Structure 1
Amino acid sequence: MTLRYRTRDQSFGPLVIFEHFYWAPVSTWMWGQRFPAATGNFSHLSLSDSDGARFLKMFAEVFENRAIRPVRNFSQPLDINLTICLHAILGLDEKQEILTSYIWMEQSWFHDFLVWDPSDYSGKHSVALPAEKLWLPDTFITEMVDEDKSPQAPYLYVHHTGKVVYGKPLRIVSSCNLNILYFPFDIQKCSLTASTITFHDTDVRLHLEQTSEEITSKSKKMIASKGEWELTQINAHEEKVYVDGQSYHFVALEVTIKRRPMFYIVNLLVPSAFLMVTDILSFYLPTHSFDRASFKMTLMLGYSVFLIIVKDLLPSNSTHTPLIAICFLVSLTFMVTSLFETIIIINVIHQNPRQRKAVPKWVRTIVLYYGAKLFWRRGKERVYRRVSRVPRTANVTDQGCESKSSCSAEMEVLQVLLRKIAEGVEEIKQCVERRDQERELEDEWLRIGHILDCFLHSVYLIFFAAFLLILCFAWLK
């Protein structure tokens, strides 16, 4: 089959037929580089000069009346079959609840006035026509919140049976009701509804050409993005809605996507877990040392700095607070609680000796008896009470001197000296007893502090383990 071409300054001829009926762009030697260069075989789309002229003449009225719905009976609706394939998930804005995706939507319908016999046109079964030459349905995505910036498809295919196939890419920026409670293990479901703007279901009806399983399978094979989101399922179905007494037919898609959590596990959960394990192990530092409180305070400040750094990685939403943010907040609360516990234990152990009171009987019973048995801590022996005491019968008296009138002055001086020695020994004995009582009291409060520390540490571990179980159950359910 021969093909003739003309330059721009030449007169109207068969070249116009070529311009109207070729879908693929031709190489730069045509029309003085009017079309961009392209590769590929498009001879199956061509028509000879005589066939093209007859084709234009035969369907001239169809091209002129492209604003009219192409049906012979206006009371009959036009059925449009949709084929949708998801090519990419470009992003999901949790704060504004916006999903950006890229899909390919193909529409097909039958044009009642564009039917020919292939034998009349050199066996031509299909041609590519400019999209502006024929009637097009005004199908759009109702959830779109921004204009479509994807390139427009300039051509469409027409088969000799009248079937028109029009495919175009769509960059969809749509609203999506998000639930970020289970971030980063969340699964989002976003709706995409394809509908016509002006046509009722008595004029235009939309139908699905593929099942949900076929759409999902094809989309998983064609999807190009390997980023944060993974396509799980696409559920598609046809619906009808009534608005102001009129019914509209539309196709609803529910796109289910799952977040890939590895990035957030490595950058959020693992560092937080390390800090929490360090805080738990800090309970094994000596209770009577002030370095323990300093260490816990430094650890708490480090965790606060960590939260400030990862703040931008956490999604923000006015309706939901993610569990991971609650996890960080509760972890910080546990750290503050452990610091308060350390302050209390240090206050119990390091009391002022002058202000230290005797251990109440109920504290001695509950803590030193039952608590010691519960945490396998036996009390120490009271070593300070083994100090020998001066007997009360060692007092020096002067009864012997009264019975003898010949006592000398030296004996009186000796008796005075012995009384002073006895009084000094009594004072030393009382001082040792006080020191014994103070050390014994200090030892009791020290043991109380150790037992209370074990008890609070156990309570800390129980509550923290319960919190982790609840959190894991909420994430994995």
Structure 2
Amino acid sequence: MRIARRSVRYVWATTTLLWMLLSELVQANIGDYLTRTQIALERRDETHANRLMRDLFANYNKDVRPVFNYSDTVNITMHLWFKQVLKVDEIDQILTIYCWTEEFWNDQFLRWDPQDYGGLTVIHLPIDKVWRPDILVYNNADMNVRENELSTNAVLNYTGGVLLFRAVITKITCNLDMTYFPFDKQVCSMMFASWSYDGGKVTIKPKGTKNNLEYYIENTEWKLENFGFKANEKYYDCCPEPYYDVTYSFVLERNPSYYILNLIIPSVFITIVTMVGFFTPYSSTGENTEKGGRKLCQHVVRCRMNGGLEYHDTCNHVESVDMPSTLLLPGNHNRSVRKRGGLKESNFRLSSSSSDESTDSCLSAPMASSLRRIIVTLDRIDDKLDKERLQRTIEKEWEQLARVIERVLMILFIFGTVLFALYMLQSTEHQLLNID
């Protein structure tokens, strides 16, 4: 009887335990099933692009160079479209340029099978989500690079290829040679390279096309010519590793029409007026002095009021040869210098002094006194006439000297003007760019 009771209790306990285990197992399976069902339903409503983005960037680190083997190199292909020359600052030696750039590289961490994502082969995503090479313009004159760059999306394909288009307004430094202004040509360049990665980590090379001016917008003052590019491998003193860069070089030729109308033609007229002034006789009334001063003021005001003309401008400096002569010569020919030694004595005075004794004996005292006063007056008039004749003679001598100086200055002015014109109008040939 006792054995039967124990058996019943044992069976009941075992049955209860099994029931509890079965209940837990059923609940777990049902919960797991419901969870899987819910996930399946959610994934059914999720787009392939969202699922791809979630899977790609689950463990992605954009701060790490995108290679599985750290010794591998990231190869970057660079292409530049020259859009427009916005501004040329001759004083600060800076060019403001608007351009488009294309950069392509392969990210080994961002690859997928299109069959797993509904045949999706390309996605567009913000560039801040992926690794980006630190490609900069080495001769950039503006440190706020990101502020002048239009933020665009990157194009990612299933093989890991990343394509980035950028629209950039950049300021570059350029050695502007103003020797032949306004008939000058300027040779400038833009060097693109990685700022921190050496050639063992990142390489950069130009895209195999030369159609860089397809979208170029012409500038009214500057003509773009001889555009080319070249890949370089350089070694610096700081590091033994090579560094790669792509240098885009171009030549800008100035359109001189604006300066011809506003500078050269007025300067030619001023030069002609100056030459005519050499043949104009100087007078004591000061017309030439007024003409020279007025011409000088007009010349200075014209050169200073023209906003595009600065310290390097050619404002016909040969004209300075004529200005001092125009202002000084009128005063020279009017100068008078007293002759050294005694002047010729008046014959009238000698004759009058020799005849005083003879007249005194035969004339009365009142008559002799009146005659003496007349003789003294005539003597003074004769002295005054002699002085005036001497003054005119001296003035003529100085006027002749002034004319000689004027002719010498005229020859120097014409000679200098011709040499200056030949120097400015000679053709200037720039070295052609070597385009590989």
Q: Does TM, normalized by the shorter one, top 0.5?
A: yes
Which residue is 1:35 aligned to? none
TM-score (norm 2): 0.68
For 1:442 and 1:93, how far apart are their aligned partners in 2? 55
| Contact 1:97 1:177 survives alignment (8 Å) | yes
In structure 2, distance between residues paired with 1:333 and 1:80:
58
1:234 matched residue in structure 2: 227
Residue 139 of structure 2 corresponds to residue 152 of structure 1: no
Name the amino acid aligned to 2:82.
Answer: L
- Secondary structure of 2:214's counterpart equals helix
1:100-148 residue CA offsets vs partner (Å, 9 max, x unmatched): 2122111223444656677887876x42331445433232222233323
Tell me the CA shift for residue 450 of structure 1: 3.8
Residue aligning to 1:27 = none
**CA drift at 1:461:** 1.7
CA contact (8 A) 1:88 1:103 kept: yes
- 2:91 corresponds to which residue? 95
Instruction: Decide which of 264, 281, 288 is 2:283's aligned counterpart.
Output: 288
1:296-343: CA deviation from partner (whole Å, max 9, x where unpaired): 122112222223313x4224xxxxx6252xx44x24522423324xx3
- 1:323–1:471: 8 Å Cα contact kept in structure 2? no
Aligned partners of 2:386 and 2:56: how far apart in 1?
A: 123
Equivalent AA in structure 2 for residue 156 of structure 1: V
Structure-2 residue corresponding to 1:459: 412
1:346 is matched with which residue: 324, 330, 333?
330
Residue equivalent to 1:181: 179
Identical pairs, percent: 22
- For residues 338 and 13 of structure 1, the distance between their equivalents in structure 2, rounded to whole angstroms, comes to 97
Letter in 2 for 1:336: M
Q: Deviations for 1:146-174, whole angstroms, at most 9, x for unmatched residues? A: 3232321113142x555433222222223
Between the aligned partners of 2:118 and 2:47, the Cα distance in structure 1 is 19
Please list every run of 5 or more consecutive structure 2 residues that lacks an aligned counterpart in the other structure: 1-40, 341-347, 431-436
Question: Is 1:307 equivalent to 2:287 in the alignment?
Answer: no
1:176 is aligned with what amino acid? C
Provide the residue aligned with 2:196 in structure 1: 198
- For 1:219, what is the secondary structure of its paired residue? coil
Question: How many residues in Structure 1 have an aligned counterpart in Structure 2?
Answer: 374
2:48 paired residue number: 17
Residues 138 and 63 (structure 1 numbering): CA distance in 2 closer, same or farther, change over 3 Å? farther
Measure, in 1, the Cα distance between the counterparts of 2:388 and 2:90.
68
- What residue in structure 2 maps to residue 86 of structure 1? 82
1:470 to 407, 416, 423: 423
Amino acid in structure 2 at the alignment position of 1:322 = H
Larger CA Rg, structure 1 vs 2: 2
Equivalence for 2:343:
none
Task: Please state whether the residue corresponding to 1:226 is helix, strand or coil.
Answer: coil
Q: Deviations over 1:1-39 (max 9, x none)?
A: xxxxxxxxx977656435x6xxxxxxxxxxxxxxxxxxx
Q: Residue 276 of structure 2 aligns to a residue in which SS?
A: helix
Q: Does 2:320 correspond to 1:333?
A: yes
Relative distance call for 1:96 and 1:14 in structure 2 (3 A) is farther
Is the Cα–Cα contact under 8 Å of residues 80 and 207 in structure 1 kept in the other structure? yes
Map of 1:2-401 to 2, 5 A cutoff? 16-18=47-49, 56=52, 60-61=55-56, 64-65=59-60, 67=62, 68-112=64-108, 126-132=121-127, 133-144=129-140, 145-148=143-146, 149-158=148-157, 162-210=160-208, 214=210, 218-240=211-233, 241-242=235-236, 243-289=238-284, 290-310=286-306, 312-315=307-310, 322=312, 324=314, 327-328=315-316, 330-340=317-327, 343=328, 345-352=329-336, 355=337, 357=339
Q: Does the 8 Å CA contact 2:200/2:241 hold for their aligned counterparts?
A: no
Q: Which secondary structure state, in structure 2, belongs to the residue aligned with residue 221 of structure 1? A: coil
Q: Output the CA distance in 1 between the equivalents of 2:296 and 2:225.
A: 40
The match for 2:30 is: none
What is the DSSP-based 3-state SS (H/G/I as helix, E as strand, rest coil) of the residue aligned with 2:213?
A: helix
Unaligned runs of 5+ in 1: 1-9, 21-52, 316-320, 359-388, 400-409
In structure 2, distance between residues paired with 1:339 and 1:398:
58
The structure-2 alpha-carbon separation of the partners of 1:61 and 1:286, relative to structure 1 and needing over 3 Å to count, comes to closer
Change (3 A) 1:294 1:206: same
- Aligned-residue RMSD, C-alpha: 4.6
For each residue in 1:88-109, what CA deviation from the matched residue of structure 2 results, as whole angstroms up to 9, or x when unmatched?
A: 1121223333222122111223
Alignment of 1:393-472 (within 5 A): 446-472=399-425
- CA distance in 2 between partners of 1:397 and 1:172 (Å): 105
Q: Per-residue deviation at 1:253?
A: 2.2
Report the CA distance between 1:206 and its aligned residue.
0.7
Task: Specify the code of the residue in structure 1 equivalent to 2:326.
Answer: L
- Kindly provide the amino acid, as one letter, of the partner of residue 192 in structure 1: M
Residues 437/167 of structure 1: CA separation in 2 closer, same or farther (3 Å cut): closer
Does the C-alpha gap of structure 1 residues 135 and 331 become closer, same or farther in structure 2, counting only changes over 3 Å? same
Tell me how far apart the structure 2 counterparts of residues 80 and 441 of structure 1 sit (CA, whole Å).
88
Distance 1:180 1:441 in 2: 50
8 A contact 1:182–1:323 mirrored in 2: no
CA contact (8 A) 1:81 1:109 kept: yes
